[in-house]
Amino acid sequence: MGISGPGDFLSIHPTELKFPFELRKQSSCSLQLTNRTDQYIAFKVKTTNPRKYSVRPNAGVIRPGAISNVTVTMQAHKEMPPDMQCKDKFLVQSVVMPEGAKELNQQMFEKEDGKVIGESKLRVAYIPANPPSPVPEEPEEDSSPISSMIDDEVKSSEHVSRTFEESTGGASSSEDWPMISKLMEEKTSATQQNQKLYLELEKTRKEILRNQVGRVSLFIALLIGLVGVLIGYFIR
C-alpha cells in the first residue's frame, strides 16, 4: 500500500512507480487499484508534475471487489537527471460514490465535514533501461579469416586423398601395394603437417590479437603463402 490516510478504500500496487529511464524515449509503468469494499469507489490520480506525466485513466469508478488498471507514461527526457533521482510524487484519492450518483464530478473529492476521502501517496524512481553487461564479449575462436582458410585447405587435402584411395584401393594388385603404401604414408604425413601448421597459425593468431603487433598483414600473408605451397606440394 501507499502512504494512506483515513478511508483505506483501495489496495494499490506497486507502492512506488518505477520508470525505465532512457534519454529521448517515453517510459511507462502500470498501477493496479483494487476495491477492498462492498461499495462503488470513485478514484482520482494526481501528480506534482502534470506536464511530465500522462495518466490513463486519471479518474474512474471501481465496482466492489473489482480491479482497475492505470497506465502512467513519463515524457522523454533531453538530459540525465542529477544522480538519477526524482522528487515527483503521485496522489491517489478515493471516495465512496454517493447514492444515486451516475457519473464523476470534482465535488466528490472536495473535503467537507463528515466526508471521508482516502489518500495514498506514491513516490517515483528511475531504473536503468539497459544495464551494462559486467563482462565484455570476446570474439569467437573460429571467426578469423586464417582459421577459415586453413580449415578449407585441410578439408580439400583430405578429400583428394580419400578420392585417390577409393579409385585405387579396390583394383590394386599385390605388385602395386608398395607404391600405394608409400602414397598412404605421404598422405598421412601431409595431414599431420597440415594439422601442425594449423595449430601453429592459431597460436600465432592469438598472440597477434593479444599483443596487437603492428605489421600483422604482411606476416599473415607470408604464412598463408607458406601453407599454400606446402599443401600444394603434398597433394600433387
DSSP 146-194: HHHHHHHHHHHHHHHHHHHHHHHHTT--GGGHHHHHHHHHHHHHHHHHH
What does the pLDDT look like over 29-45, one tens digit per residue?
Answer: 999 999 999 999 999 99
The pLDDT score that the predictor gives to residue 189 is 72
Q: Is 28 helix (H, G, I), strand (E, B) or coil?
A: strand
Strands 118-128 and 16-21: parallel
**Which parts of the chain register pLDDT below 70?**
1-7, 131-182, 210-218, 232-236
The pLDDT score that the predictor gives to residue 172 is 45
pTM of the model: 0.54
What does the pLDDT look like over 108-160, one tens digit per residue?
Answer: 999 888 889 999 999 999 998 876 655 555 555 555 555 555 555 545 555 54
